[in-house]
Amino acid sequence: MTVPAEKPKKIGAKQIAIVVHQEHSRPGRVGALLEKRGYGLHRLCPNLGCELPEDMSDYAGVVIFGGPMSANDCGSLAGIKCELDWIPKVVEAGVPYLGLCLGAQLLTRAVGGCVAPHPEGKVEVGYAEIVPTEAGREWISRPMKVYQWHREGMSIPACCELLATSQTYPVQGFRCGPNAFGFQFHPEVTLEMKDQWTSEPGESMRRPGAQQRGVHLSMHPFYDPPLDRWIDGFLDRWLATDTRSH
C-alpha span between 72 and 233 (Å, rounded): 32
- Reported as a single tens digit per residue, the pLDDT across 200-245 is 868 888 899 999 999 999 999 999 999 999 999 999 999 999 999 7
- Reported as a single tens digit per residue, the pLDDT across 89-135 is 999 999 999 999 999 999 999 999 999 999 999 999 999 999 999 99
CATH code 3.40.50.880 for 2-239: yes
C-alpha span between 63 and 47 (Å, rounded): 16
Pair 163, 173: CB distance under 8 Å: yes
68 membership: H or E segment, kind and range: none
Burial environment of residue 96 by CB neighbours within 10 A (0 to 12, 13 to 18, 19 or more): buried
The residue type at 144: M
User: Can you say how many angstroms the Cα of residue 35 is from the centroid of all Cα atoms in its chain?
Assistant: 17
